[in-house]
Amino acid sequence: MSHSSLSQIKNGGKLIAQNKKAYYDYFIAETFQAGIELAGTEVKSLRAGKCNLKESFIQIVNGEAFIDGMHISPYEHGNIFNKDPLRRRRLLLHRYEINQLRGAVTTAGYTIVPLRVYFFKSLIKLDIALAKGKKLYDKRESMAKKDQRREAEKEFKVNNLY
């Protein structure tokens, strides 16, 4: 995870949506920041926080990156200008980034997953990651670590109360 994108969110950027399941289902190797090609009513919906990344995935087709399954609710006052909420949207990346992603997917068996959508200054950005799928025992292991950390925090809190 690149620290720059996280610090951008913390420094005035507003988080719109996050894919929490990605960290549970995948080992994250490398992250990229991408722009999204949107219609005007979609931007207004995103400003209202109406976005869902749960079932979304990223594909590279003909040298361009696309996100499929990202649900942006139709804007209430958009009438005929509203687009399909689940339509395919083009991601704005540099050519060398697209080539790097395509190479990792085809040769090393990585998957490209969306992590979060957020505002950066006046732009809407999407963090995507090269990831490898976790096996069931890896998921159990990460859940056990999370439980241990939670127990330690609870114990620390109780001990420091008195």
| pLDDT in the model for residue 66 | 92
The CA distance from 132 to 84, in Å, is 30
- What residue spans define the domains of the chain? 3-135
CATH class, domain 3-135, is: mainly beta
Tokens 């991408």, residue? 34
pTM given for the model: 0.71
| pLDDT in the model for residue 159 | 76
The CA distance from 46 to 119, in Å, is 9
Q: What is the pLDDT along the chain (162 residues), one digit of tens a residue?
A: 455 555 555 555 788 888 888 888 888 888 899 899 887 778 888 888 888 888 888 888 898 989 888 888 777 776 766 666 677 888 899 999 999 888 888 888 888 899 988 888 888 888 988 888 877 777 787 888 888 888 888 877 777 776
